[in-house]
Structure 1
Amino acid sequence: MKKLISVFFFVVFSVSAVAGHHAKDEHNDIVDTAASKDIFSTLVTAVKAADLVNTLKGDGPFTVFAPTDEAFAALPPGTIEMLLKPENKQTLVKILTYHVVAGKVTAKDVASLSDATTVEGSKVMVSANMNKVMINDASVIKADVMTSNGVIHVIDTVLLPNDVKAAL
């Protein structure tokens, strides 16, 4: 019985912590929410280098497919450092805006799409099957991180527009 009560309190505490954390994100914009998560330090650095902070702090709403630090680390060696150089800002902006869709697109909405037009101007392919959502070759590993100006879907791969992919 003691063990059952302990498990019950653990589950209630865990659910409360997650729910509270989720609700907190809804009061922060996309940039502040990403900056508060350890897994997005590379993304936040890139957004700053591309001068997109004010844009992503704007009214929106925006949907951001946010690659984790591990996703950025999987790029060819030296790619991140190269993209963060001021002379490559235009390419960095192109890559980052390829991760953004205008409007608030929740997981429920994403699951019914076959593609979405990004702020960069190109389309990303969307597929959903067996409780797995893919954006191009990236898996959505956490969906619906709600923010005050949109929603973040965490992905495991950096999305690259075709012309950038060919150049890397």
Structure 2
Amino acid sequence: MIRRTFLALTASVSLLSAPAFAQDKDIVDTAVGAGSFTTLVAAVQAAGLVETLKGPGPFTVFAPTDAAFAALPAGTVEDLLKPENKDKLVAILTYHVVPGKVMAADLTEGMKAASVQGGELTFTLEGGAKVNGAVISTADIAATNGVIHVIDSVILPPM
């Protein structure tokens, strides 16, 4: 009885000491599992970027939440999801992706990074980390092929 209790207690302690944020999912599966990126995931699917973002990477994704997409003018998301607007959708989504793994600790005031879309992203740190003015609300969500930083708005590439 004492031995069984000791073994059960030991097993419980080892489960509790496992890393709470161990990540074994790629960027897409991590976004799906979070539950607050349903619009982003739908857009990635409509743009045909799922396989790319499941690829080896590494990628850094600045991921707008569902609330960020909802803040766009009425009808914008629905319009972007139409097949005839796929190129525009791809450009917007890939503007949110930087090749390589950029952690929050790597950001510096005024730092610039080239997005996969080809445009330039600018980071500011005063008053909290931002990318092109979008607040990074949660940083450094690890995925097997990169990292996700949650942002509070959709950043649009210069047209």
**Shorter-chain TM-score range:** 0.7 to 0.9
Q: Say if 2:49 is the partner of 1:45.
A: no
More helix by share: 1
| Aligned counterpart, 1:7 | none
Q: Say if 2:94 is the partner of 1:97.
A: yes
Q: Percent identity?
A: 56
Q: Residues 107-118 of structure 1 correspond to what in structure 2 (within 5 A)?
A: 107-111=104-108, 114-118=111-115
User: What TM-score results when the alignment is normalised by the length of structure 2?
Assistant: 0.86
1:145 to 136, 141, 146: 141
SS in 2 for 1:153: strand
User: What TM-score results when the alignment is normalised by the length of structure 1?
Assistant: 0.82
1:160 to 149, 156, 159: 156
Give the letter aligned to residue 159 of structure 1. Answer: I
1:71 to 68, 71, 85: 68
Q: Say if 2:129 is the partner of 1:133.
A: yes
2: distance between equivalents of 1:112 and 1:60? 25
2: distance between equivalents of 1:112 and 1:136? 12
1: distance between equivalents of 2:108 and 2:101? 14
Bigger radius of gyration, 1 or 2? 2
1: distance between equivalents of 2:140 and 2:38? 19
TM-align CA RMSD: 1.5
Structure 1 gaps of 5+ residues are: 1-15, 164-168
| Aligned counterpart, 1:6 | none
Q: Say if 2:15 is the partner of 1:36.
A: no
Deviation at 1:37, TM superposition (A): 1.2
8 A Cα contact 1:111 1:133, kept in partner: no
Deviation at 1:162, TM superposition (A): 1.3
1: distance between equivalents of 2:149 and 2:108? 12
